[in-house]
Amino acid sequence: MNTPEPAPSDTELRSWLRARVAHYAQLDAAAIDTTATLTTYGLDSVYALILCGDIEDHLGLALEPTVAWDHPTIDALAGHLEETLAQTSPSGESR
């Protein structure tokens, strides 16, 4: 049986997103500001779609392809993903 992994903490998710953006931008992760827009690092629509696919694979979520444009910073994206994970997890279900 395939048990879902626990949702990553906000810090883990930001760190993972920072690493992905750094990879695409060919920069060190420490150089990535989580409050800067993704376009600051040269991420265009192609990279936004790739990032969306990476997030889907990493978290097991189905996302709209515009998620990176709707939440244009790592902080905003991480917050949205945390909220989405909380809503889809058994502990996040309404009672």
Residue 2 lies in a domain: no
pTM: predicted TM-score of the whole model, two decimal places: 0.81
Listed in sequence order, the residues at least 6 apart from 42 whose beta carbon sits closer than 8 Å to its beta carbon are 24, 25
Encode pLDDT of 46-60 as tens digits.
999 999 999 999 999
Domain count, the chain: 1
**Which tens digit of pLDDT belongs to each residue from 72-86?**
999 999 999 999 999
Question: What's the confidence (pLDDT) of residue 69?
Answer: 93
Domain residues for 15? 10-88
Joined tokens for residue 62: 């189905």
Is the dihedral angle over the CA atoms 85, 51, 29, 31 positive or is it negative? Answer: negative
For the cut 50, the answer to whether the pLDDT of residue 62 exceeds it is yes
Whether 41 is in a domain gets the answer yes
- What confidence tens digit (pLDDT) does each residue in 21-40 have? 999 999 999 999 999 999 99
51 assigned to some structural domain:
yes
- Assess if residue 50 is contained within a domain: yes
The CATH number assigned to the domain holding 43 equals 1.10.1200.10
